[in-house]
Structure 1
């Protein structure tokens, strides 16, 4: 029974983190969607974002797993600190501007740079989760699914609403990561 409860807690934590990281794709998707994208572009961009949200945390988890073996019990503090810094960075970007350059997001290079930009946070969180030895399949599936769905929603919503909502979305995602980081440290 204790193991089932622990697994449910891990599932809930990973899903919340996946949604928090998807907020970056959502918020930037709103801005890109406001520039006018076709449905074909929405699907193509979102598919690449989902792929990057699968690959980046996977690479991060392997890195974090290695670091946890090297750092031992200090790994939990390092992972929590990393989440706190990442959350602060997302909040900062929502207030002072995004780090993703302005370019044509419909071009192949633009789609890759956009996807990489919104997935870098997934790598960092993957490092933290790798230190905690999180369930690999669950994590990458949740991150990839959330990244893709949130990207679709942001791009579609961007066609209909103002850019300010996207900035709040990234701030909310950053606050969630900050809170998880604090929880892991204390």
Structure 2
């Protein structure tokens, strides 16, 4: 696999995380660049680990991943999306919102994992060809880091324009990404 192919694969694997990051950034209250970098790092590390795990699973488990991976990703994204939509329609209270918990490590990690199921399946496929899996995983992780960081900051701009219902839009984006994953798998 040549460097251009690795880079294209890295960006292809990061597109769904980018879309989710735009929704996340829109739902956050004026995210700072440091928060965008943190989200990018979490998504990037997860997205780099999953193809290695898929590569390790190899041929034996590929039929299970191919058969169920898209449904797992859809289920996680659907649940997270519905939760965001529900939060977007909840009446505001005078209680302070704990932004750290709402956009904390666990939530970002689950979201990152749900967008990286496809990278797991790609890793399984790469187990059957001669590729430097560590280099491929690094490129995928770096591309995802950059795309998610940019997505959060782009979401910040969109969130300021949309206002209070930005979280609803973010939830709808999550659900849409999950539906796209299932559609791509079923139509392939």
TM-score (structure 2 length as normaliser) = 0.62
Establish whether residue 23 from structure 1 lines up as the match of residue 27 from structure 2. Answer: no
1:42 maps to 36
SS at match of 2:157: coil
Establish whether residue 171 from structure 1 lines up as the match of residue 160 from structure 2. Answer: no
SS at match of 1:159: helix
Once residues 15 and 42 of structure 1 are traced to their aligned partners in structure 2, the CA distance between those partners, rounded to angstroms, is 18
Establish whether residue 125 from structure 1 lines up as the match of residue 118 from structure 2. Answer: yes
Question: How far 1:31 sits from its partner (Å)?
Answer: 1.4
1:154 maps to 151
1:84 maps to 70
1:60 maps to 53
SS at match of 1:37: coil
- Give the one of 167, 174, 184 matched to 1:180: 184
**Distance change (3 Å), C-alpha of 1:139 and 1:165:** farther
**Distance change (3 Å), C-alpha of 1:12 and 1:90:** farther
Residue by residue, what CA displacement relative to the aligned partner does 1:22-63 show, whole Å, maximum 9, x if unpaired?
33333223212xx122223333332333233223x1453245
TM-score (structure 1 length as normaliser) = 0.63
SS at match of 2:27: helix
Give aligned pairs, total.
Answer: 166
Once residues 39 and 31 of structure 2 are traced to their aligned partners in structure 1, the CA distance between those partners, rounded to angstroms, is 10
List gaps (5 residues or longer) in structure 1. none
List gaps (5 residues or longer) in structure 2. 88-96
Establish whether residue 116 from structure 1 lines up as the match of residue 109 from structure 2. Answer: yes
